[in-house]
Amino acid sequence: MKRKVLFALMGSFIISVFLFTNDAKAQNTGQPYKKMWAKSFLNQKAPDFVVEKWLTDEPKTKGKFMLIDFWATWCGPCKKAIPELNHWAGQYPKQLVVIGLSDETEQKVTSMTTPTINYYSAIDTQKRLKSTFAVTGIPHCVLIDPKGIVRWEGFPFLQGNELTDQVLEDLFQKYGK
């Protein structure tokens, strides 16, 4: 009986240490703890932006924030994000360029008709940028300021770390021209 109680107490201790470690991470960064499905570049220079082929016109990004969405046609959460990405592309055209980047073939991406994508789209079947960011879960979005610094990253619907109009507007004000 003593062993079971001791094990239960040890188990609680391990869980408490784990939770404390996660809370400590959140306190040290000033951000809520979040699981990243990619390498973090937050507040660092973004890697060079590379695509294999533009499926739309190539956007003019000078002086603007760039929101890169790593996505795929088979990904339900990616498709769920498209209307919100469309909204941001339409809501903030002077401050923001939204780019969907898929590692699928051109034929696969262009054959998807719903939902409709109303922002810039490109493919990179070689997964160069996806590999540089070490993306292992999608959708994964990266917001880069006009100076090339990553200012937001992650899953856009993650509770406590959502990408919203207010988050974007705050970042535009803080890191814009």
pLDDT of the chain, 177 residues: tens digit per residue: 444 443 333 333 332 222 223 333 333 445 554 567 899 999 999 999 999 999 999 999 999 999 999 999 999 999 999 999 999 999 999 999 999 999 999 999 999 999 999 999 999 999 999 999 999 999 999 999 999 999 999 988 888 889 999 999 999 999 997
* Domain boundaries 35-175, corresponding CATH code: 3.40.30.10
3 state DSSP class of 112: coil
How far apart are alpha carbons 173 and 134 in whole angstroms? 29
Whole-model pTM: value is: 0.80
What integer pLDDT is reported at residue 160 of this predicted model? 84
What is the residue type of 112?
M
What sign does the dihedral 94-130-53-84 (CA atoms) show? negative
With 0-12 / 13-18 / 19 or more C-beta atoms within 10 angstroms meaning exposed / middle / buried, residue 6 is exposed
Gyration radius of the chain's alpha carbons: 19
The neighbour count for residue 12, using CB atoms within 10 Å, is 10
